[in-house]
Homo-oligomer: A and B are copies of this chain.
Amino acid sequence: MRLHEIGEFGLIARLKEIVWRADPRVMVGIGDDAAVVTYERPVVMTTDALVQGVHFTSETMTPKLTGAKAAVATLSDLAAMGAVARHLLVTLALPPDTDVEEILAVYRGMADVCNMYDATLVGGDVVSTGGPLVISVTATGELLDKPLLRSGAKPGDILFVTGDLGGSAGFLHAFFADRLAMLNPLDQSLLRERHQRPTPQFIAAQILVEEGCTSLNDVSDGLASEAHEIAEASGARLVIEAARVPIPPALRAYARLGRLDPLDFALYGGEDYQLVGTVDVRSVGRVLARMQAAGVRFTVIGRVTDGAPGVELLAQGVYQTLEKRGYNHFGAAFRGGKEIR
């Protein structure tokens, strides 16, 4: 069934069923001019949008995975602030001949993520477009304690990341180079998972709130760009040790085959939705122990040093200045209507 056959109101009626969820904080949910919700603590607000052909394609993502990833991209910002997720608003700009089942699948993906992280989809807007599908997700959260900002990194702190980096970009590279089949099936599915099923790092964030961190950012545009944001906001100098950056073995295998540098994917690829930040050196042991106990991969990748604000990369004994480069929507890296990012 095509969207123009059931219309805006028919669509909204179906979406309501998919996203319905009991939430005592919701005084007014979907179905009036706006939602009304209650909070006990300061509210964190953020928004993130995915555009078909720029952030996702029908070849690399299913509609349900796309919906889930759109929600995760936004929730990842809440985790990076030290907040838990509360309420989502979703705007979809859709061509009128879109298949209704596809749209419902997008919302099913978002509803799954909401259920997993105790968030509730309370409203949104559905509009028609003559262009590509745009999914814009706004989310609110509540701070667990003080906000975890990008500023606050100081000389002597260690620099860390959660999870591993570069897998999402590695998958896209392998997919569009038509080289995915060169990997063994396990590596193929690992890379695919990194791209298709990112997870917001709420568990790590809660530990960082409780144990303290001096700066925190989520890795949406690549480690280089995110480290620069911390350096700028903190007025600090960061050193990243190349050999310490956690890279998935499947990405290493792919890079070997194509004679590529796997570190490039971690530094400039983006869409990992892991956390990068700094902690006081005296807290590292406790944070590391709690991360391990919670099953969160946590890797020290460098440190904060004296010197002018900026980011350095230490590779094979040589320090080099790391460019502030990553996925930049309108910069030279942008690839017009080409279905790759």
Chain A, 54-81, contact with B by CB distance < 8 Å: what is the 0/1 string? 1100000000000000000000011011
Which residues of chain A in 12-50 are interfacial with respect to chain B, using CB atoms and an 8 Å cutoff?
27-28, 31-39, 42-50
Is A317 engaged at the interface, CB distance under 8 Å to the other chain? no
Is A134 engaged at the interface, CB distance under 8 Å to the other chain? yes
Q: Which of A85-93, A107-115, A189-197, A238-246 contacts B (4 or more CB under 8 A)?
A: A85-93
Contacts of A134 in B (CB 8 A): 93, 127, 129, 131, 134, 136
B45 touches A96 (CB 8 A): no
Query: How many residues belonging to A are interface residues under a CB distance threshold of 8 Å?
Result: 75
Contacts of A81 in B (CB 8 A): 28, 32-34, 36
B39 touches A27 (CB 8 A): no
Is A159 engaged at the interface, CB distance under 8 Å to the other chain? no
Other-chain residue from B3, B32, B124, B149 in contact with A28 (beta carbon distance below 8 A): B149
B49 touches A44 (CB 8 A): no
Which residues of chain A in 247-268 are interfacial with respect to chain B, using CB atoms and an 8 Å cutoff?
none
Contacts of A3 in B (CB 8 A): 330
A150 to B51, CA, bound (A): 33
Contacts of A203 in B (CB 8 A): none
B87 touches A127 (CB 8 A): no
B136 touches A125 (CB 8 A): yes
B96 touches A336 (CB 8 A): yes
Contacts of A130 in B (CB 8 A): 51, 53-54, 131-132, 336-337
Inter-chain pairs besides A28-B147, A129-B132, 17 sampled, C-beta below 8 Å:
A8-B328, A9-B328, A32-B149, A33-B46, A34-B46, A36-B43, A36-B147, A38-B43, A43-B43, A45-B123, A47-B123, A53-B129, A54-B129, A91-B138, A126-B330, A127-B134, A130-B336
